Structure 1
Amino acid sequence: MITIPLTWQDKPEIQRGLFFTVPPDLLRLVFSRRGTNIGIPDNVLLEIELSIAINPLKDDVGIWKNCTLNYIYLRPRDPLTIDSTGSKILKKTPAKGENIARIGEKRLAAFDVPLRGYLGWLLTQPTFLNEHDELLERHREKINRHGFPKPVHSSSPEKFVWRDDVNWLTEFREFFDRWRLQTLAAPYLPIPVAPRFPELRSYSRLPFGHGQNSFTLPDIYPSQGSGVIIEMMEETLRPRNPPEHLQEWMQIIGKTNTAKNAIPAYGRQFQLQHYWRVLQQRYSKELHRKKGALISAFAEILHVSDDTIKADLRHFSDRLGDDWMHRYVEIC
């Protein structure tokens, strides 16, 4: 359980069950740039108070049923560091601890950037969004009661067991498999299947350390490097005729596409579309005709130019229509 400030405990936004928080720095920037003689509204100051109260860590992005909603892909990831205390725990010198952190950070970044990019691409796909919305609307009552289904891997490679398995979960299982997801943290916050090195579920009869190991590399993840093994992995993961609904992403991450700068751009767009939608839906009156202030604030937060944010917004409109920011499915 979390401590919700008294000023928020009786608010309908909290009572309804699901509330996305906005980073305090973004809220301050947006509402301080509406004009020189316009202060930050009291309701925004209250939300800043709430966001600070529930979010000592960056990964808490909202409240669902009086619990913090944890989601690691929406806000910037802090670099991995190992201080002197951590080095002592690892029984390493401070220099070796720092080296371990550098190696770990390099590997984490290699995993993190493509997965965030995939999420940004996914949230600009009308087919995904239509299937997502229809599924959540159809099973709103069960989601509100049970939450989103969480997969549990069994000891058998042929089976994929779900807690409290009932018929309605079959549709979610098919949806998650089709779009390479583990589950949903909340509406429009998918959790993708991620690489695992090593794969802790070993299907081998030989225990680890007896000459073999296993790992998992989803087909939505780009292979990196060169050599025969990499070529074989690429051919195995991405056949000549990939699933039609994933074909564009497969082209973006494919080995023949040497310019993969679209991947981090999609990661940025994932953050932008989420918080832009939340702000527009929550503060439509306060932000009426203040698009310039929004663009400027997001550009500073995301460390890009105003023109880049404008291009991202045009991309959303081209893909999803001009009313994309008003799309939402209530589950509570």
Structure 2
Amino acid sequence: MVLRTPADTDIYASLDERAGEIFRRIVESYLERGEPLGSRNLSRILPISLSPASVRNVMADLEALGLIYSPHVSAGRLPTQMGLRFFVDAFMRVGGVSDEDRASIERHVHRPGHGQSVETMMTEASSMLSGVSRGAGIVITTKSDSILKHVEFIRLEPTKALVVLVGEHDLVENRIIDLPAGTTNSQLTEAGNFLNAHLAGNTILEARTKLERLRQTVRQELDQLSQDLVERGLAVWSGGNDASNPTRLIVRGRANLLEGLAGAEDVDRLRMLFDDLEKKDSLIELLNLAETGPGVRIFIGSENKLFSLSGSSLIVAPYRDGEERIMGAVGVIGPTRLNYSRIVPMVDYTAQLMSQLSR
């Protein structure tokens, strides 16, 4: 597994064995319990014999390096953001995926069966990552130009309809669209029949081009209302009217990030984060973060502008098609005290499976 987190060798060289051990214990305690660790407790758990006074001296050196800090007077120490980054780069041991975690991932990330939606698989992958991380699982996916096999419009309400689009490999996408006032069931049927007769067997790009050529035929065969439905159906399939940026984001487990927060200010910061994530610029930014080189990337707190206000961490890895083109990314957003050593290999393995499914 490739982990792209270059260590700060200068700081690493400045730590002797006992300073490294004390720093590691402080960070591991924070990741496990989220609480400061004091010199007295540290002296009890260290494998080497050090008095609390000697531990405090080492802690003062670590604080001078910017690796730890004291949240309150006379309190224990917590890692700074710089300290967390240094720990991830220099101390964290990343192993393989456990058999239990591997089975859980494979249960959720698999090729959809007949009539199942790709989005269902993506959602399950996001939910699985949320469950194992106690953070929010994210899946970012770009639309592939699939071949259209069948289209059907199903009325849900007087002004809403479900568009069922069946692509190659019997993959299904369902979208709800708004209907113009006065749309009849026969017009819905007529629009579906027209699409299936003239556009099935084409990719969406080909279908759009063909639709342009058939525009005069559309006007003759369908009234203006049905023509509008035809165009709406294609827009839904290609990810919206902005065909140049058909990127989607699936997030599951937001509530995990809201549990145990200190106050309303923390909640507001996280809401700002999710507002940012739902903007297309941020989706492209996340894809760009995952795109450079192979492997998993870790961003802690303000290392990325998306997280400068929320104080959250991101673990993200790209998945690719058979031609090694980026198709999307999977990852976890969570508090800085994520279980990095467990989540990093899980994100990496999930991305590998997603890559296999994209080929």
Q: Shorter-chain TM-score category?
A: under 0.3
Compare CA radii of gyration and give the structure with the larger one. 2
- TM-score under structure 1 normalisation? 0.24
- TM-score under structure 2 normalisation? 0.23
